[in-house]
Amino acid sequence: MKDKTRRDFLYTAASGAGAVGTLAAVEPFMRALQPAADTLAASTTEFNVSTVAPGELKTVAWRGQPVFVLHRTPEMLKDLHGHDDLLRDPMSHAVPEVQAEWMKTDEQRVTRSIKPEYLVLSAVCTHLGCIPGFEPTPGQEAWGNIVPPDWPGGFHCACHGSNYDLSGRVFNHVPAPHNLHVVPYKYIHDTTILIG
């Protein structure tokens, strides 16, 4: 009897140690799958926003991913107001990624940019990562029924039909959960931004 419990103990201890050892051996493999150091190496991109004409959209590459730089005209900025009821998160509160330290006033939470005329946002749709198309004129005339009838102008992701306004704020009733993410950037010169 005594022998038996001794055996049971040894059996449990040995298989327990074996299991822990196996798990520990899995770890380096998991780490090997994670991004390598050279892939991770932080990178920055400089961009001169004055090269973007009023009303124009340019796409800049940062860490291999696209960033929108949109030069908004005064009308575009005006049109940002008055359709809050269409939006899921008009003041960009939902998650940290849609906000930035410099977003202090309500107005900044609407324009979502350091200088209101230059919108700088991640171009990655928060649904499943496509790049939305730029469809700035209001109404359905230019875009047909892929955008809602009361379209205020903005971005339309053709992949699964998500809509964002000209501040990258997401509409209600679309698959994308959040506003387009804000990327870290600052002005290092009057018209030059440093992304990253």
Partner 1 sequence: MIDKMLDSKVAGWVDDRTHLIRYIRFHLIDYPTPKNLNYWYAFGSIALLILVLQIVTGVFLAMDYKPSAILSGGGFSVAFDSVERIMRDVNDGWLIRYMHAVGASAFFFVIYLHMARGMYYGSYKKPREFLWMMGVFILIFMQAIVFFGYLLPWGQMSFWGATVITNIIGAIPFVGDWLLQLVRGGFSVGDPTLNRFFALHFLFPVLLGIVVLWHVMALHVVHSNNPVGVEASEKNIIPFHPYYTVKDLFGIGVFLIIFCWFVFYHPTGFGLMIETDNFNPANSMRTPADISPVWYLTPWYEILRSVPNKLLGIAGMALAYVCLFLLPWLDRSPVRSARYRPVYRSLLLIFFVSIVVLGYCGHHPVTPMLTVVGRTASVIYFSFFVLLPFIHKFEKTKPLPEDI
Does the protein bind ligand FES through residue 148 (CB under 6 A)?
no
- Residue 52 to residue 191: CA distance in whole angstroms: 10
Question: What is Dmax (Cα atoms) for the chain?
Answer: 89
Which partner from the list ligand FES, partner 1, none does 30 bind, CB cut-off 5 to 8 Å by kind?
partner 1
DSSP state of 123: -
Region of 12-20, 45-53, 153-161, 179-187 interacting with partner 1 (CB under 8 A): 153-161
Q: Which amino acid is at 76?
A: M
Q: Return the structure tokens found at 13.
A: 């201890």
Q: Contacting ligand FES (CB under 6 A), which of 80, 125, 166, 183?
A: 125
Single residue of 34, 104, 105, 141 touching partner 1 by CB under 8 A: 34
Which single residue is written with the structure tokens 């998650």?
95
Which H/E stretch holds residue 78? helix 74-78
Q: In angstroms, what is the minimal distance from the CB of 158 to ligand FES?
A: 8
139 backbone dihedrals φ, ψ, rounded to 5°: 85, 175
What's the rounded Cα separation, in Å, for the pair 18 and 121?
A: 50
36 binds, among ligand FES, partner 1, none (CB under 5 to 8 A by kind): partner 1
Q: Which token pair is 132?
A: 């939305």
Task: Take residue 158 and report the two structure tokens written for it.
Answer: 């053709």
Our finding on whether 162 is near ligand FES (CB under 6 A) is yes
Q: Determine if 130 is a binding residue for ligand FES (CB under 6 A).
A: yes
Interacting partner of 64 out of partner 1, ligand FES, none (Cβ under 5 to 8 A depending on kind): partner 1
What is the closest distance, in whole angstroms, from the C-beta atom of residue 95 to ligand FES in the complex? Answer: 17
Assigned token pair, 14 = 């040995």
Which residues of this protein are in contact with partner 1, per CB under 8 A? 30, 33-36, 39, 59, 61, 63-66, 126-131, 133, 145-146, 158-161, 173-177
